[in-house]
Chains A and B, each alone.
Chain A
Amino acid sequence: DTAVSQTPKYLVTQMGNDKSIKCEQNLGHDTMYWYKQDSKKFLKIMFSYNNKELIINETVPNRFSPKSPDKAHLNLHINSLELGDSAVYFCASSQSGSAFFGQGTRLTVV
């Protein structure tokens, strides 16, 4: 009974393609996030979203866009993938402080 689940777990794709990563949480949390963890293991916030407010890290290219069909879902769309997009992408949710993470999606762009 996974609290935060994201799919796929692994994604290998060619440069220039468009891809999506899905995330769902069954915790009833109001806020969801997307993080990117690069090869140096640094977890950087990409987006924070809570139905009313989307906060975007200004360093994130506009090729990345979050889509939230409802409170329990926050998907990540990536257009025109580049080699530098290769990383592990984590979805997370929180209600009052601590965040719970999905298992991560390891994206490899070739």
Chain B
Amino acid sequence: GAVVSQHPSWVICKSGTSVKIECRSLDFQATTMFWYRQFPKQSLMLMATSNEGSKATYEQGVEKDKFLINHASLTLSTLTVTSAHPEDSSFYICSAPPSGRAKDTQYFGPGTRLTVL
């Protein structure tokens, strides 16, 4: 199956710093990628849709100035959590449907666990 990677797999940072998370599609091109957040024992929450070459689309209640998304190429999307606070501590997961294949198949990255002290 298609492979999506994320980096880093975990990160610990101080409150007020910014953290960048990368999502890469390794063997396919993805014009669209999705960013999810998941708190312990809760369901996936879609944060935003990342679109290659254009602005991301954010879900209601997600601050676009806090969660900066850049999708500069067909294989890379980045999520930057700016001025992180302890309440931003969560499991961040990206996913992508392979372009040109069954567009409704989602392949998930392994996730990034963010802990803000």
A binds B: no
B contact set with A: CB distance below 8 Å: none
